[in-house]
Structure 1
Amino acid sequence: MTTTTPTPGHTLRLILGDQLNLQHRWFSEIDDATVYVLMEVRQETDYVLHHAQKILAIFAAMRDLARQLRQAGHRVHYVQIDDPSNLQSIPANIDALVAQYQAAAFEYQAPDEWRLDEQLYQHGRKSAVPWLMVDSEHFYTTRNEAADIFADRKQWLMEFFYRQMRVAHQVLMADAKKPVGDQWNFDAENRKPWRGEPAEPSDPRTVHDHSLLWRSIVDAGVNSFGDPKADRLAWALNREEALQQLDAFIANALPRFGDFQDAMSSKAWRLFHSLLSFALNVKMLNPREVVAKAEAAYHAGHAPLAAVEGFIRQILGWREYVRGVYWAKMPEYAGKNFFGHQRALPSWFWDGNTRMNCVSHAITQSLEQAHAHHIQRLMVIGNFALLAGLDPVQVHRWYLGIYIDAFEWVELPNTAGMSQFADGGLLATKPYVSSAAYIDRMSDYCKGCNYDKKLRVGPTACPFNALYWDFFQRNKATLSRNPRIGMAYRQLEKMDSTTIADFQRQAQTMLSNLDAL
């Protein structure tokens, strides 16, 4: 623990592990009466089982921010995970520090997770010193802006929100209301499979040895899963590294990002993705600067419009949109379960040991890299989870733990809404499920798999096929009127009773022993 000499009248300012924004107005002036507090606590490592890299990267980045603040002349009190005085709870540590510094005031930036927002709000109400919450100065939108935009709409369509954001912030606009290229969305052009060419760009990230920090985390009793890569961790440590990573993405990957943003390959886990979501979600980078650099690349003729629009849509559109859904619908949203799914996660969610090559690769990559891109998360792992009727709360907690960029405000709507349709269609217009055909079209996973992508029944039939048709058959009463999935039900109507009984029997055999798949 690093301390400063107590003087009555201090203001304590809390910096959470996902608030590593060196550009925040807090840091624009040096004030000897202000002490910045950062703390590594079991409360945050233990609320779900986290990937080792996630814990390690956040702690390392927190420590680097503390170093930079001290170098700039700020006073910092840093509570390390193994400090004997660490009470391992944010409120408990705050109370102890308020007493230690005889603080006159306590301030904190608005948390992005509901549980922390509620915890700090309730604790502040009982505090003997004034508490003040300030904005994190990160997002384009306020917490309630999406709710206001959708106030009179039954369904919260991202596309409607995205166009509002484009106009409001004048991003990729030809004039005040007209998009560049006379088209808002180029998603239809961004669905090419990758067959090895062009080559995946080299990984631009800086590698660090955090072995000593990792040993202190383990010795403190923190549990985790996945490969820590403690001696070769490549996630950004600070803003400077994040900016270098951003520049490398713009220069080397953005031009082909659009073509292959949905592609999956067993030979290249990064492909043309930016891997900037961690730096963005802990606020080393501001979304405005990321969007501005991508837009500038288009105007300079460096990257095509379809690629730039697809990338910007993920940040200005989807990222802000899911945050709006989160704050409008919490805390009830976390327990949504439209289909009433109750099955526990198969054991191979924790080790990747399944004979389904696509699922094995996506989960193994997640365990090794703490990262998978959106199609792996949605159309491989999430697809299987929904088809198999896995408990969406368990699925949510797994996603929240395993991914380096997963904080509940962004992960929960993506998992419960987009992936598992647990909200009944508030966020997604249809359940995102597929048979083996889609996975084969977008990847090389089916090659050499233990299962046959073309078979629906039998011991070597791909589980996705029978589970796909069984999902629609058993949910006919609730889904058959959805116009976006009418084709599936028209195909079901053409099947005879024997065919339906065969895939139902196949599905039930698999569902009764998911661990064996």
Structure 2
Amino acid sequence: VRIDAAGNSHSIVGELLRAVAEGAFEQVVITECGEVRLAKALRAFADTAPVPVEIREDRRFICSHARFRRWAADKRELRMEFFYREMRRETGLLMDGTEPEGGRWNYDTENRRKLAKGVRPPDRLRTSPSALTREAMADVERLFPEHFGDLDGFGWPVTVADAEAVLEDFLTRILPGFGDWQDAMAEGQPWMWHGLISTAINLGLLDPLEVCRRAEAVYAAGGAPLNAVEGFIRQILGWREFVRGVYWLKAPEYGKRNFLDADRALPWFFWSGETDMACVADVVATSRTNAYAHHIQRLMVTGNLAMMLGVHPDAVDDWYMTVYADAYEWVEMPNTRGMATFADGGIMGSKPYA
């Protein structure tokens, strides 16, 4: 359904109801969604629809809801590191028998090298928009010309083939440097050595466990050091699965948490980029162009600043959800309220990142 089609309800449930009413389906099969509000609406639709509705578990994740609840049930504190170790044991990723490969679970201390003068991140593979994608981009340009964002730099994969190409390029050319400079920032360098596959995984174009196993195979073949491969796998098997588990475990109350009683409005420069703070101006500018920022920019620049300014977490949530192509509520909210602003009071992390 085109965004400006006559009768478009601008609602997933509304369009399902219309399709069923038109007799288009004898049964509806839905993958569970990524936010509490929509999940509630889809359950209500399933209860009242005139045709059978099946809501299936989301296969874009490694850890099921039930598995995460079992892990969390006896924990006084939820800490990613211990969840991550459990997932390593269960999947066998980077394991040497019952012990972690290399003798350590986590090589985070080896992911913090400063970018030496003269070292430049490699150029990155960007995909060319298909005819259908360009058609959608034209609709966006026509209907939302004043909105935040820039279509000229769009190069995200929207097909499995494109996502595979981006992943393979990362594994063969980029991954070896990811470990050393995972936490580095440089002006005008939005990509650094990051994977650029979060949108593809979240869309279901890449399987997260397969991605991790392919990275592990690169390490086994001597194509990348352990600090790079472990750090990369930790982002997917650890953080991605953990934040999703926390979201569904604590929802919907999690979205109401405001531990620091932050109540200020989001400053306009988060949208305009007009500020003397060079790092903030750079992150806003490249976020506008690419709908992307790497995790250090999100956590330590925009997120940290929003916390120190006392911006209400609802406003911070709205900004991240609006700006980034890989933002879904299940991943955005725990990262924003838990890691960036400490609005959850310590559910995600032990202390604020101020």
TM-score, normalization by structure 2: 0.95
Question: In structure 2, what is the equivalent of residue 161 of structure 1?
Answer: 83
Alignment match of 2:196 (pick from 275, 289, 310):
275
What whole-Å deviation, never above 9, does each CA across 1:118-147 have from its counterpart, x for those lacking one? 110012212222211112322111123222
- The reply on whether 1:148 has 2:70 as its aligned counterpart is yes
* Aligned residue identity for 1:117: A
| Residues 147, 325 of structure 1: 8 Å contact kept | no
Question: In structure 2, what is the equivalent of residue 411 of structure 1?
Answer: 332
| Residues 128, 155 of structure 2: 8 Å contact kept | yes
* Aligned residue identity for 1:146: F
Separation of aligned partners in 2, 1:283 and 1:211: 21
Separation of aligned partners in 2, 1:223 and 1:106: 37
Separation of aligned partners in 1, 2:297 and 2:264: 21
What whole-Å deviation, never above 9, does each CA across 1:398-432 have from its counterpart, x for those lacking one? 11111111111111100100111111001111101
| Residues 179, 228 of structure 2: 8 Å contact kept | yes
What secondary structure sits across from 1:423 in the alignment?
coil
Change (3 A) 1:221 1:187: closer
* Aligned residue identity for 2:316: V
Separation of aligned partners in 2, 1:81 and 1:226: 18
Question: In structure 1, what is the equivalent of residue 210 of structure 2?
Answer: 289
Q: What RMSD, in angstroms, separates the aligned Cα atoms of the two structures?
A: 1.6
Alignment match of 1:225 (pick from 148, 151, 158):
148
Change (3 A) 1:267 1:98: closer
Q: Report the alpha carbon displacement of residue 202 of structure 1 after superposing the two structures with TM.
A: 1.6
Separation of aligned partners in 2, 1:183 and 1:319: 21
Q: Report the alpha carbon displacement of residue 223 of structure 1 after superposing the two structures with TM.
A: 7.0
What secondary structure sits across from 1:161 in the alignment?
helix
Alignment of 1:113-262 (within 5 A): 113-175=35-97, 177-208=98-129, 210-220=133-143, 224-229=147-152, 232-262=153-183
Higher relative contact order (CA 8 A, sep 6+): 2
Q: Which consecutive unaligned segments of at least 5 residues does structure 1 have? A: 1-78, 434-517
Q: Report the alpha carbon displacement of residue 95 of structure 1 after superposing the two structures with TM.
A: 1.6
| Residues 418, 432 of structure 1: 8 Å contact kept | yes
Q: Report the alpha carbon displacement of residue 369 of structure 1 after superposing the two structures with TM.
A: 1.4
Separation of aligned partners in 2, 1:104 and 1:403: 36
What whole-Å deviation, never above 9, does each CA across 1:167-226 have from its counterpart, x for those lacking one? 001000000x21110100000011011134543222112222755422323445697312
Separation of aligned partners in 1, 2:146 and 2:13: 22
Separation of aligned partners in 2, 1:103 and 1:181: 53
What secondary structure sits across from 2:54 in the alignment?
strand
Q: Which consecutive unaligned segments of at least 5 residues does structure 2 have? A: none
Separation of aligned partners in 2, 1:393 and 1:137: 29
What whole-Å deviation, never above 9, does each CA across 1:320-356 have from its counterpart, x for those lacking one? 0000000001111111100100000011011110111
Question: In structure 2, what is the equivalent of residue 81 of structure 1?
Answer: 3
* Aligned residue identity for 1:142: S
| Residues 60, 204 of structure 2: 8 Å contact kept | yes
Q: Figure out how many residues of one structure are paired with residues of the other and give that number.
A: 352
Alignment match of 1:98 (pick from 2, 7, 20):
20
**Which is greater in Rg?**
1
Separation of aligned partners in 1, 2:4 and 2:47: 29
Change (3 A) 1:363 1:217: closer
Change (3 A) 1:218 1:199: closer
- The reply on whether 1:342 has 2:241 as its aligned counterpart is no
Q: Report the alpha carbon displacement of residue 284 of structure 1 after superposing the two structures with TM.
A: 0.4
| Residues 188, 286 of structure 2: 8 Å contact kept | no
Separation of aligned partners in 1, 2:164 and 2:134: 25
| Residues 145, 324 of structure 1: 8 Å contact kept | no
- The reply on whether 1:317 has 2:238 as its aligned counterpart is yes
| Residues 61, 241 of structure 2: 8 Å contact kept | yes
Question: In structure 2, what is the equivalent of residue 477 of structure 1?
Answer: none
What secondary structure sits across from 2:65 in the alignment?
coil
Separation of aligned partners in 1, 2:117 and 2:192: 10
What secondary structure sits across from 1:132 in the alignment?
strand
Separation of aligned partners in 2, 1:336 and 1:431: 15
Alignment of 1:67-78 (within 5 A): none
What secondary structure sits across from 1:350 in the alignment?
helix
Question: In structure 2, what is the equivalent of residue 391 of structure 1?
Answer: 312
Q: Report the alpha carbon displacement of residue 270 of structure 1 after superposing the two structures with TM.
A: 1.0
